[in-house]
Chain A
Amino acid sequence: MTVTLFIPCFIDAVYPRAGISMVEILERLGHRVECPGEAACCGQPPFNSGYWDEARPIAAKVLQQLATAEAVVIGSGSCGAMVKKFYPELFAGRPEAALAQAVASRTWEFSDFIASKLGVTELGAKFPHKVTFHDGCHGLRELGVKQSPRALMAKVQGLELVEMAEAETCCGFGGTFSAKFPMISTAMGDVKCASAIETGAEYIVSNDSSCLMHLQGLLTRQGKPLKTIHLAEVLNHR
């Protein structure tokens, strides 16, 4: 099938390795990958700050780029939730409403697309490390993605997954929240890092780069050896 991969702004500008891994995995599975060149961001920063009028032109551009896609795959639970869950609300009662519904119904978070839609879990990956997994809240609660990343990690050779305490607690990133209320965001991140460190893992793996940027920022500043990595990079590691 032809998979339209929507690369979120974070992955494009900061973590290209995660996006490249997604392309390579999908191609290895025999699919044709398209990346719409003009869609840059899903529009979450203005949307989550309440500036829906400012978010609509950004989201409309994304919709236009994804309009004819057979399947839309997004390598972030957060941006995935934006397109799948919030675009229909953002465009409710507007001319783009039907298109927003249609695109939402064909949109998948990356790990869920592989494991649930394609039904594949064995990707031939090797990652001989002890890891813990952080569920980004939007992927977990808006999209209900919990088992897919674990099913995929279970087939990675050498990977040992140790779940952390309070695994479903937010890491504290929260988009613009992290800059508007940095003291709360940092405290939440410290709690999350402490839970991850307790597991003795070498890596925090997640399907959301934005959570990882926040956690890695704290870990680096505090000189902690624990590292962060996107799930797609783990699944593409051979």
Chain B
Amino acid sequence: MSSFVSQFKAAASVKTADLRHRQVIRTALRSYEVVRDKRKAAFQSWESARQAAAETKWEAVNHLDTHLEALTAKLEARGTKVHWASNAAQAREIITQILRDKKARSIIKSKAMTSEEIHLNDALEAAGFTVVESDLGEFIVQLRHEPPYHIVFPSMHLTRGEIKDLFQKELGDAPSDSPEDLTMVARRVMRQKYLTADVGFTGANFAIAETGMISITENEGNARLTAALPKTMVTLLGIEKVLPKFADLALFLPMLATAGAGQPMTCYNTMYSGPRQPGEVDGPEEWHVVLLDNRRTELLADPEQRDALHCIRCGACLNVCPIFRNVGGHTYGTTYSGPVGSVITPHLRGLQDWKHLSNASSLCGACTEACPVKIDLHHHLLHNRRNASTNEPAFFERLSYQAFGLLANEPGLWWLAKKIGWLTQPLQKLVKGSALDPAKAWTKTRDLPPLPQETFKDWWKNRK
């Protein structure tokens, strides 16, 4: 068993037994569900919107090369420096070099899951830079030295009381646990950081090929300050973020807000098209855009699962996933958790090491139903299982299915197996749930049903 799967199982055992955790997540997601459904109902047809979004992303992803070239040309025409990073190490190197060239010491960041993906903060801190997260949720988890719990709500696992205690301990200031007071504490700390930061770092929600713009969506205004105050701006985004036309945002901005947070529109939506131009009074003097591949092109080469690149990182699939709701975001041990994380992590980080995430699903399909861009998520979990078993079958598991196939296809043996099952029931009861019980994975928490003496097939035969 790989260490990743044993870590996953150990963490899942702890979290599923933690009823308080379950309650915190359920309460948070219940209020999300109410507003999400209200916003979905405001679309003339949510289903048509999903179809249109899926088709737009299909076009974007299937002509990714053309759109990326157009995007780059437009960005460069207005003085932006565009960098291409094949993998995480290259991306870290490019960004570190920019900071060194600018003789930077401190960096202020707005929310970017791609920076989590390449473990940027650790690399920058190791290189001697000071890094401050400015998204409130990210700021909170940074104070706790832990990764974001959820791709949209990084600190949803914490109660206001816990955040108050954290601020008291780490910042020495927390007058009450009211959201207003806590926000004011964070704001006071952050304003100082903005003024002293040498470089502002952002992610991106969309990149528009037609106009050469990066679209950033946020609720706190922190990304705007990150982009506006420091002299140098750095933006990191995955290559799949590109959309062909500016007009596509008319669908994608409300859709992302609705699916992600149950909002009609996110509070601040900003389109960045270049650094400060001659005659302009504000904005960064330099802007670097880093386009990250990091094995996305391998996913692009897989026609069956290519639609996983449609993902707009809204988190809707996490929110409806009964696995996520019970094991929580940190259990996955990945940057991208929940159903979409279970689908793409094997592609980004290796199938055999991460196939357990595809197995850790009841294939219920709630994710696919929720996905605004119609990624066939739960079927891709099945496809990952098939690919993993075909490439490296587990010896005993395959043997047991071969044996099962023999039983199922041979009526005499099938009958015998059922009779043996019926006859050995009393013996199974003696060892129920113990280490000796061959069915202990089931019987530790569940009773087995009593087997009838007369099976359906017996009844059918006797009746005739």
**Chain A interfacial positions (CB closer than 8 Å to B):** 7, 9, 11-16, 19-20, 23, 35, 37-38, 40-41, 43, 45-46, 48-55, 57-58, 61, 137-138, 141-142, 168-170, 172-175, 177-189, 191, 213-214, 216-218, 220-221
Contacts and interface: CB of A to CB of B under 8 A. Distances in A.
A93 to B, nearest CB: 13
A152 to B, nearest CB: 21
Given A50-B388, A52-B390, A178-B442, A14 B451 contact: yes
- Taking chain B's interface residues, is the majority helix, strand, or loop, or is none over half, making it mixed? helix
A16 B362 contact: no
A14 B386 contact: no
Interface string B278-292: 000000000000000
Given A40-B411, A218-B446, A137 B363 contact: yes
17 contacts: A12-B455, A20-B459, A35-B456, A37-B461, A49-B359, A51-B393, A51-B398, A54-B405, A61-B408, A137-B365, A177-B361, A177-B362, A178-B362, A180-B359, A182-B445, A184-B360, A221-B446
B365 A141 contact: yes
A7 B457 contact: yes
A37 B457 contact: yes
Interface stretch (B78-86, B109-117, B218-226, B321-329): B321-329
Contact of B382 (A7, A20, A50, A168): A50
Contacts of B456: 7, 11-13, 16, 19-20, 35
A57 B442 contact: no
A141 B457 contact: no
Interface in B404-432: 404-405, 407-409, 411, 414, 418, 421
Contacts of A189: 446
Contacts of B393: 51
Given A61-B409, A191-B326, 14 more contacts: A13-B455, A14-B449, A38-B409, A40-B407, A48-B385, A50-B385, A52-B386, A61-B408, A181-B12, A181-B359, A186-B16, A217-B447, A217-B448, A221-B446
A191 B457 CA distance: 35
Interface of B: 9, 12-13, 16-17, 22, 322-323, 326-327, 359-366, 368-369, 382, 384-390, 393, 397-398, 401-402, 404-405, 407-409, 411, 414, 418, 421, 441-442, 444-449, 451-452, 454-461
A172 B310 CA distance: 28
Task: Specify which of A43, A48, A55 lies most central, judged by the most chain B CB atoms within 10 Å of its CB.
Answer: A48
Nearest to A11: B456
A58 B408 contact: yes
Contacts of B447: 216-217, 220-221
Nearest to A170: B364
Task: Specify which of A11, A49, A189, A218 lies most central, judged by the most chain B CB atoms within 10 Å of its CB.
Answer: A49
- Taking chain A's interface residues, is the majority helix, strand, or loop, or is none over half, making it mixed? helix
A206 B121 CA distance: 50
B390 A179 contact: no
A182 B441 contact: yes
A175 B441 CA distance: 12
B409 A40 contact: yes
A46 B369 CA distance: 25
**4 closest cross-chain pairs (CB), A and B:** A174-B362, A217-B446, A50-B385, A50-B389
Contacts of A187: 16-17, 22, 326
A31 B366 CA distance: 36
A54 B409 contact: no
B133 to A, nearest CB: 31
Contacts of B408: 9, 40-41, 43, 58, 61
A189 B446 CA distance: 10
A48 B382 contact: yes
Nearest to B391: A50
Contacts of B385: 48-50
A13 B401 contact: no
Contacts of A178: 362, 441-442
Contacts of A220: 446-447
A205 to B, nearest CB: 16
Contacts of A38: 409, 411
Contacts of A174: 361-364
Contact of B386 (A16, A50, A179, A188): A50
Nearest to B8: A181
B12 A49 contact: no
A46 B405 contact: yes
A54 B326 CA distance: 32
Nearest to B418: A13
A29 B134 CA distance: 68
B322 A179 contact: no
A14 B452 contact: yes
Task: Specify which of A14, A15, A55 lies most central, judged by the most chain B CB atoms within 10 Å of its CB.
Answer: A14
A142 B455 CA distance: 29
B405 to A, nearest CB: 5
A90 to B, nearest CB: 10
A93 B403 CA distance: 26
Given A19-B456, A173-B362, A179 B442 contact: yes
A142 B365 contact: yes
Nearest to B442: A179
B327 A184 contact: yes
A174 B386 CA distance: 16
Contacts of B17: 183, 187
A58 B401 CA distance: 10
Contact of A184 (B16, B366, B389, B397): B16
B16 to A, nearest CB: 4
A35 B460 contact: yes
B9 A181 contact: yes
A143 to B, nearest CB: 11
Nearest to B447: A220
A181 B16 CA distance: 11
Contacts of B382: 48, 50
A66 B431 CA distance: 40
A184 B387 CA distance: 24
A27 B9 CA distance: 49
A220 B455 CA distance: 22
Given A49-B389, A177-B362, A187-B16, A54 B402 contact: yes
A87 B153 CA distance: 39
